[in-house]
Amino acid sequence: MHSLPLLDVAIIVLYLIAMILVGVWFSRKNKSSEQFTKASGMIPGWAVGISLYATFLSSNTFLGVPGKAFGSNWNALVFSLSMPLAAWVAVKYFVPFYRTSGGVSAYSHLEHRFGAWARTYAMVCFLLTQLARMGSIFFGIALSLQALTGYDMTTIMMVTGICIVVYTVMGGIEAVIWTEVVQGVLLTFGGLLILYLIITNVDGGVSKIIDIGMRDKKFSLGTLDLDFVRPSFWVILLYGFFINLNNFGMDQNYVQRYHAATSAKEAAKSVWLCVRLYIPISLLFFIIGAGLYAYYVQHPELTDTIRLQAAAERLPSGASQDEVVALSNTLKAEDYGDKVMPHFMVSKVPLGLLGLVISAIMAAAMSTISSGMNASATVFTEDIYKRYIHPSSTNKQALRVLFIATAVFGVLGIITGISMIGVKSILDVWWELSGIFAGGMLGLFLLGIISKKAGNSDAVIAVIVGVLAILWMTFSYLVPGEYSYLRYPLHANMIIVVGTLVISLVGSLLANLRKR
């Protein structure tokens, strides 16, 4: 870390060592698969709630949200505003269901409802979603640390990935939850510190940030027109509701924490605590984005530097300076928004505090990635290993598979992150991929709840129709121009909405027709 002061390097190293030591400490308890996956149901609700909050607050939030607010407006904040309704549905229906079902896997009950294929299908969708999530977060942390340290992104992903793998494999879900409590506090502190530094560096302070934001419409939540082609208020609201319903309702990361809580009541409290923490803190990061926009409006020469850097990264290594300048002149704010926060941190965060802020960004990444690794390993062990490979496995064998699977999914997450190098917006990539993978899974789950009449054959046909619809919506942009009328006309964030509704409604309709 040659470009960082020694004090900041020491803080980051100490933080990484502390996280590994947490894994070592909790490794003494991991004598059974139940302890590794559910912490034997002994975690208090407030800790589970902060852990859920930290899982939401990934490095995508720390870097992607300010970058999105810098490049466009507060339209993406509507995603957070959809959380209370999704949380209400989860607390009323999903939390009691999972606490009474007993199975640690979120998808085992689908086999009882529709057959083994349904469980396998949902499990595959979840694992793909987790790989996309972990990859986008690895990419986000590497993007930030590259600007701060000078190391290449691949090296950063591998080093941070190894640290995450070590403490997650050793500590299990209990280590993940308690480290997420610390990481959630650290991340919140980092966000508040960044906001304070922005306000003190903008000439005119808060009032000037508001003036510039109002002038350039940075506080807009999107058009209220019923427009589903552009990212309107309603598109993001619908997308946020379905994604958050998927998160709270059938994402293994969250379902596992419901089981880790001491009771169903404590699990329900944890969901509401997560919502109460996340909404104001997500607003904080949108305010940071607006503040960064005002700061760089006042310092256009710094904006030119960032734009040149973004252009250089998009061109081959042998590109001339004239080519870099020509490309930089064509870039818009949304094309380099993700690079603004790291640039500000390098230039304005004082000695010692920079190490804390970098640790906060790493905490954001590590909390979500470790959750994804643990949940993915649990799903693999419960829904693949115990179901198909070794149904009569002993507790010791299952625990060994959990260790190995956790490490494997960590490596796959790193590989996915490396493959994302060069994308325009972290937040956009994650939103699009999660919408594609989660839509079919949520649709099938809702079909099982909404329609008591729906049977195996109804669900099979509904999923086939839904998957075909999702594939068409995702890849129809490849249709040649002369057949443009065959392209999907709505915004990409509507894929999860349409895909979910197609599966649940088609299945319900078939069940009713068959009944008649």
Of residues 57, 55, 20, 59, the one with CA closest to residue 142 = 59
CA atoms within 13 A on the CB side of 366: 36
Q: Residue 159: which pLDDT band, with cuts at 50, 70 and 90?
A: confident
- Residue 14: CB atoms within 10 Å: 12
Stretch 476-487: mean pLDDT: 84
- Domain-located, residue 138: yes
What is the pLDDT at residue 515?
74
State the alpha helices, DSSP H only, in 150-263: 153-201, 205-215, 233-250, 252-260
Could you give the CA distance from residue 73 to residue 378 in angstroms, rounded to a whole number?
A: 38
pLDDT digits (tens, 9 = 90+) for 398-433: 888 888 998 999 899 888 888 877 665 555 565 566
Write the CA distances from 443 to 159, 176, 321, 435, 481, integer angstroms.
Answer: 38, 29, 51, 12, 32
Contact in structure between 272 and 87 (CB atoms under 8 Å): yes
Tell me how many domains the chain contains.
Answer: 1
- Domain-located, residue 383: yes
Residue 252, domain CATH: 1.20.1730.10
- Domain-located, residue 353: yes
Higher pLDDT among residues 348 and 218, named by residue: 218
- Domain-located, residue 494: no
What is the pLDDT at residue 153?
82
The dihedrals phi and psi of 425, each to the nearest 5 degrees, come to: -140, 125
* 329 contacts: CB under 8 Å, gap ≥ 6: 307
Of residues 48, 33, 26, 29, the one with CA closest to residue 257 = 48
CB-based burial label for 473 (10 Å; 0-12, 13-18, 19+): buried
Contact in structure between 454 and 507 (CB atoms under 8 Å): yes
Residue 500, pLDDT above cutoff 60: yes
- Domain-located, residue 468: no
Supply the range of the domain harboring residue 160: 6-19+42-419
Torsion (CA) 15, 18, 23, 24 in degrees, nearest 10: 150
Stretch 360-375: mean pLDDT: 78
DSSP assignment letter at 43: B
- Residue 366: CB atoms within 10 Å: 29
Could you give the CA distance from residue 387 to residue 33 in angstroms, rounded to a whole number?
A: 15
- Domain-located, residue 86: yes
What is the pLDDT at residue 283?
93
- Residue 313: CB atoms within 10 Å: 16
- Domain-located, residue 261: yes
- Domain-located, residue 439: no
Could you give the CA distance from residue 101 to residue 121 in angstroms, rounded to a whole number?
A: 20
How far is C-alpha 192 from the chain's CA centre?
21
- Pick from 66-80, 117-131, 345-359, 408-422 the range whose average pLDDT is largest: 66-80
